[in-house]
Amino acid sequence: MKVYDYKGFPNPARVRIALAEKGLFDKVEFIHVDLPAGEHRKPEFLAKNPSGAVPVLELNDGTLISESSAITEYLDQASGNPDLTGTTPKDRAIIAMMQRKIEAGLMDAVGAYFHHATEGLGPDIETDQNPTWGKRQRNVAVKTMGWMNTVLADRDYLAGDNFSVADITAMAGFAFADFAKIDIPADLTHLLNWRTRVSARPSAQAAA
């Protein structure tokens, strides 16, 4: 398998953490896509992912899978333990729900702030900024952190008692928030404790 990505970037981190959790990190070939140079907007890359985004997973038969949630689920389903996406329909639904809320409310919100209300990837790439939208999405991200803190008041992980893709998406989202200088408010102690806990996992180093 090949993974087209950019080490240290937010959505690539989701796949790298999942690979590490599943013991697959050394079984894939990473192919660097030069985002600051705009490589993701050139025809060769758009043929792999018309959305023009990393990561993309290429299976050995040439099938191309983009969208991080689809890639991490594939990696989970196609290999053994530990389970990251749930085993019963109900557990799977709770994990999928939490993963999607964190993707929209944290990861994508931080991304909108970064690309629209800061210098982002620089003027050659950020050609259509909307600072008002970006600042509004910063508020969404901080509000999402407050909700996550409430969720973590009575559970160890975001979707329940077990580590899941919801936690992976959050780990990558908070690394992005650090980079965009959006701090976790100091009174969100459940969330801060969760972050200490997941940051100690070996997989956290894989994406750094």
Collect contacts of 156-161 with beta carbons under 8 A, ≥24 apart: 156/194, 156/197, 157/194, 158/98, 158/102, 158/194, 159/86, 159/91, 159/94, 159/95, 159/97, 159/98, 159/99, 160/91, 160/94, 160/95
Q: Which of 22, 204 has the CB closer to its own copies?
A: 22
What type of residue is 135?
A: K
- Sign of the alpha-carbon torsion through 11, 17, 23, 29: positive
Q: Answer for the pair 178, 185: CB distance below 8 angstroms, yes or no.
A: no
Bridge partners (DSSP) of residue 29 are 2
Q: Does residue 100 interact with its own copies by CB under 8 A?
A: yes
Applying CB under 8 A, which of residues 43, 89, 122, 123 lies at the interface with its own copies? 89
Residue 178 Cβ, how far from its own copies at the closest point, in Å? 24
Q: Does residue 149 interact with its own copies by CB under 8 A?
A: no
Applying CB under 8 A, which of residues 74, 114, 174, 176 lies at the interface with its own copies? 74
Taking the C-alpha atoms of residue 85 and residue 103, their distance in angstroms, rounded to an integer, is 15
Applying CB under 8 A, which of residues 24, 31, 94, 125 lies at the interface with its own copies? 94
Q: Which of 65, 206 has the CB closer to its own copies?
A: 65
Q: Which of 37, 104 has the CB closer to its own copies?
A: 104
Question: Among 25-33, 69-77, 170-178, 190-198, which window interacts with its own copies (CB under 8 A)?
Answer: 69-77
| 169: three-class secondary structure by DSSP | helix
Q: Does residue 136 interact with its own copies by CB under 8 A?
A: yes
Applying CB under 8 A, which of residues 11, 14, 16, 66 lies at the interface with its own copies? 66
Taking the C-alpha atoms of residue 47 and residue 203, their distance in angstroms, rounded to an integer, is 30
**Which residues contact its own copies (rule: CB under 8 A)?**
50-51, 57, 59, 63, 65-67, 69-71, 73-74, 77-78, 89-90, 92-94, 96-97, 100-101, 104-105, 128, 130, 132-133, 136, 147
